[in-house]
Structure 1
Amino acid sequence: MLDATGKALIEVSGLKMYFPITAGVFRKHVGDVKAVDNVSFTIYEGETLGLVGESGCGKSTCGRAILRLYEPTAGAVRIDSKDVLAADANTLREMRPKMQMVFQDPQASLNPRMTVAAIIGEPLDEHTSLSKKDKLARIYELMDQVGLNRDFANRYPHEFSGGQRQRIGIARALALNPTFIVCDEPIAALDVSIQAQVVNLLEELQDRLGLTYLFISHDLSMVRHIADRVAVMYLGQIIELAPRDPLYLEPLHPYTQALLSAVPEPDPEAEKSRRRIILKGDVPSPANPPKGCNFCTRCPKVMDICRQIEPTFHEVQPGRYVACHLYQETAG
C-alpha cells in the first residue's frame, strides 16, 4: 500500500456531469439531474483510490466522465498532466491506451458474438499494427496474466462463469499496457466466493505492472482491503476523502459514520456492541437537491446553517478532507 506522496497521475477538478431534463412537445429544457456536482480529487501513481457511496450517488457516472465515456458538463481532468476533456478526437484516441475501464457487469460488457481471443485482441486491432502471430502471442500472454486457460481462446462468453468473464474483461483492459484503470464495481455481479479471487488478481496485477486504480464500489469491506485512500460520495458530491485506516477508525462526516456503522463485525463480541446509525428519510432527487448541504435532510447532527449554506470541501487534518459545517471552524 502506498502513501500519497508520489507523483499525481490523475487530477480531477470541479467535475460536473448534468443530464438535462426536458418536457413538453418542444422538449424544453426545464432542469438538470446533477449526477456529478463539482467533484475534485487527485490519484497518485501506483495508488488505489476507493470511491464509495450508496446506489445512485453518481460513482459510476464519475468514473465514466473521467475517461470521457460521457461528455462532462464542466471541470478538468488531467491524466499525466494532459487534459482529457480539452482533447480533440485524434488526441483523445492517442490517450485512450493509457486509461481503461473494467465494467460492472461482465455479461453485458462482452460481445456474445465474439470469441475470447477476438474480445481481448480488439484493442490491439484498433491501436496497434501487430502481425497476426504477435497479436496471438500477446493475447495468450494476457490470458496467462489473468489466469485463463489458453485452450479457451476460441470459446464464447456464454461458456464461462461470471468470475471467468470478469477475467476476460480485465485482460481486455490490460491489452494496451494502461497506467490507469477505472474499476467500476468489478465484483458487484459476482458470487461472494469469487469476489476475493478477482480483487486479489487486481492487486497482484497492480504490483506487477505498476497500475493506478479508481476502485468504485459499495462494498465497504472490500474497499478497506484494496484501497489506499477512500472518497465517500453522496448525491453527486464527495463529502469525505481520507487515507483508508483513519477513515475506517474515525470517520468524520455524519454520513460516513452511518455508512460504516452498517458494516458487520466478524468478531461476535464486537458485533454485539456495534451501534447502527439509522438514517431517516430517503435520498433527495439529484434533479432537485436540498438547499445548503446535500445531506441536511437526513443528517442526525443537522444545524440551522446546514439548511442555508453549502459547506466547503476542505482539509481539516493532514490528508483528510471533509465537507461538513461541524468542521468549518477548524479550517485554516
Structure 2
Amino acid sequence: MFDGPKPLVSVKDLKMHFPIYAGFFRRRVGEVKAVDGVSFDIVEGETLGLVGESGCGKSTCGRAVLRLYDITSGSISIDDREIGATPQSDLRTMRPTMQMVFQDPQASLNPRMTVEAIIKEPLDEHTALTEAEKREKVGELMDAVGLNRKFAKRYPHAFSGGQRQRIGIARALALNPKFIVCDEPIAALDVSIQAQVVNLLEDLQEKFGLTYLFISHDLSMVRHIATRVAVMYLGKVVELAPREALYRDPLHPYTKALLSAVPEPDPSLATAKERIILQGDVPSPSNPPNGCNFCTRCPSVMDICTKVEPDYREVQPGRYTACHLYNDTAG
C-alpha cells in the first residue's frame, strides 16, 4: 500500500463490530459496524493523522489497532509482529512497544495515585529496575515533558488540564515505545494549551524517534503535525493522502466538505471560500446505506453510488480514495 520504507504499523481490512442484543432472551439482533474494513500503513518516524466527524469510528480504530479490543476480523502488524488474533495474555510482552495517550487526562489518571506512582506503574509492571532507578527514570520523564520534579508527590487534581495531559504522555513514554496512538489528546484542553501539547509531541517524536497515529477532528492541528492524513466516514477510510496534497486538492466529496468547514483566519480569503453544507444526518453504523456509506449526503451522488460499494484504491501515486468518481480513471 505504501512504497518506500518498511512500515512499522500495517493494518489490513480491520473490522470492529459490536453486537446489539434485544428482547427478553437478549438475542443478537444486529451489530454496530464501528470500524468496517480499514487499511493503512504507518512508516517508522511518521505521523498519520486520522480525521472525521464525531462518531465515525476514529477512537475505536485507534484502540483496536493497539488491541485494547478483541477485533472482529482483519490483520494488525506492529514492529513485524502480527497481533490481530493474538490472545490478550500473550500481548503483554508487546505492550512496551505500543502505548496510548487518552483523550481525557482527568479520566485516564487514577486520582488516588501520586504523579510519581502513575508514571512508575508501567516500570513496576514491565521492568526489573530498582526503586532508586525507577525514581530517577520518573524524574527524567517529568523533565522530558516539561513538568517540575518537585511535583512528583502531588495528586492529579492539583494540576491543570495541560499538565495532566503531560503526565499521561510521560506515562506513555515510560517503556520507550516505538508507536503511540494519540486519541484526540488536545480535545479536552484549553485552546491556549493545545499548541503547547502538540509542540511537545513533535519534540518528543524527534528526540525518541516515535511513530504516531494522531486522532483528531481538529483539521488545522492535524495539518500542523501529520505527515499523511486518513479521512474516516462511518467506519471506513474514504481518503488517504500526503498532508499537503490532501489539503490543497481533496479528492473525495466528504473530504472537500470537511475541509470547507475549517475556519479561514484571513477575512479577504474567508469571503471567497465556498462552504459545502451537507444535507441530512450521518446514517446509523448499525444500519449503513447500501452502496457507498456517503451516498445519502453526497452532493456528487450517482446512481451507481446507491447500489455498489466503491473500491478503496490508489488513484494517484500515494493517494487512495473510495469513490466511484475516480474508479474509471484508476484503470
Q: Bin the TM-score by the shorter chain.
A: over 0.9
Residue 125 of structure 2 corresponds to residue 87 of structure 1 = no
Between 49-58 and 3-12, report the one with greater CA deviation. Answer: 3-12
Distance in 1, matches of 2:169 and 2:32, equals 31
2:135 paired with 1:142 = no
Provide the residue aligned with 1:119 in structure 2. Answer: 118
Q: Secondary structure at the match of 1:182?
A: strand
The answer on 1:318 being equivalent to 2:320 is: no
CA shift, 1:331, in A, is 1.7
Aligned to 1:194: 193
Report the CA distance shift for 1:4/1:125 in structure 2 as closer, same or farther (over 3 A). Answer: farther
3-state SS, counterpart of residue 111 of structure 1: coil
Matched, 1:29 2:28: yes
For 1:13 and 1:4, the matched residues in 2 are separated by 16
TM-score, normalisation: structure 2: 0.98
Shift in CA distance, 189/4, structure 1 to aligned 2, threshold 3 Å? farther
Aligned residue in 1 for 2:280: 281
* Letter of the structure 2 residue corresponding to residue 267 of structure 1: D
- Say whether residues 1:222 and 2:221 are aligned partners: yes
Matched residue, 2:129: 130
TM-score by length of 1: 0.98
Cα deviation, residue 88, structure 1: 3.3
Q: Which runs of 5+ in 1 are unaligned?
A: none
| Structure 2 SS opposite 1:276 | coil
In 2, the alpha carbon distance for the partners of 1:97 and 1:300 equals 45
CA distance in 2, matches of 1:288, 1:46: 38
The Cα shift of 1:86 comes to: 2.6
Separation in structure 1 between the aligned mates of residue 165 and residue 174 of structure 2, nearest angstrom: 14
The AA in structure 2 aligned to 1:178 is: P
Give 1:233's aligned residue: 232
Distance 2:37 2:5 in 1: 25
Number of corresponding residues = 330
Please state whether the residue corresponding to 1:239 is helix, strand or coil.
strand
Contact 1:315–1:331 (8 Å) recurs in 2 = yes
The DSSP-based 3-state class of the residue aligned with 2:50 is strand
The 5 A counterparts of 1:131-280 are: 131-280=130-279
The residue type paired with residue 253 of structure 2 is P
| CA shift for structure 1 position 84 | 1.2
Distance 1:254 1:131 in 2: 56
Partner of 2:53: 54
Letter in structure 1 aligned against 2:137 = R
For each residue in 1:84-123, what CA deviation from the matched residue of structure 2 results, as whole angstroms up to 9, or x when unmatched?
Answer: 1232344311000000000000000000000000000000
Q: Is the 8 A contact 1:13 1:39 kept in 2?
A: yes
Deviation at 1:266, TM superposition (A): 1.8
Q: Tell me by how many angstroms 1:4 deviates.
A: 6.9
Q: What letter matches 1:65 in structure 2? A: A
Q: What code does the residue aligned with 2:194 have?
A: Q
Contact 1:18-1:35 within 8 A present in 2 as well: yes
Q: CA RMSD in A?
A: 1.0
Once the two structures are TM-superposed, the CA of residue 267 in structure 1 deviates from its matched residue by: 1.5
Q: Does 1:110 align with 2:109?
A: yes
Distance 1:87 1:297 in 2: 38
Q: Aligned-pair distance for 1:5?
A: 2.9
State the 1:26 CA deviation. 1.1
Distance 1:118 1:207 in 2: 27
SS at match of 1:330: coil
Answer yes or no: is the 8 Å Cα contact 1:4–1:44 preserved in 2.
no
* Aligned-partner residue type, residue 302 of structure 1: V
Moved more, 289-298 or 81-90: 81-90
The 3 A distance-change label for structure 1 pair 257 and 154 is: same
AA at the equivalent of 1:173: A
CA contact (8 A) 1:180 1:211 kept: yes
Where structure 2 has 5 or more consecutive residues not aligned to the other structure, the ranges are none
Q: Could you say which residue in structure 2 is the equivalent of 1:68?
A: 67
The amino acid across from 1:66 in the alignment is: V
Aligned-residue offset at 1:129: 1.0
- The one-letter code sitting in structure 2 at the alignment partner of 1:223 is V
Say which SS state the counterpart of residue 56 (structure 1) adopts.
coil
Deviations along 1:212-262, whole A, 9 cap, x unmatched?
000000000000000000000000000000000000000000000000001
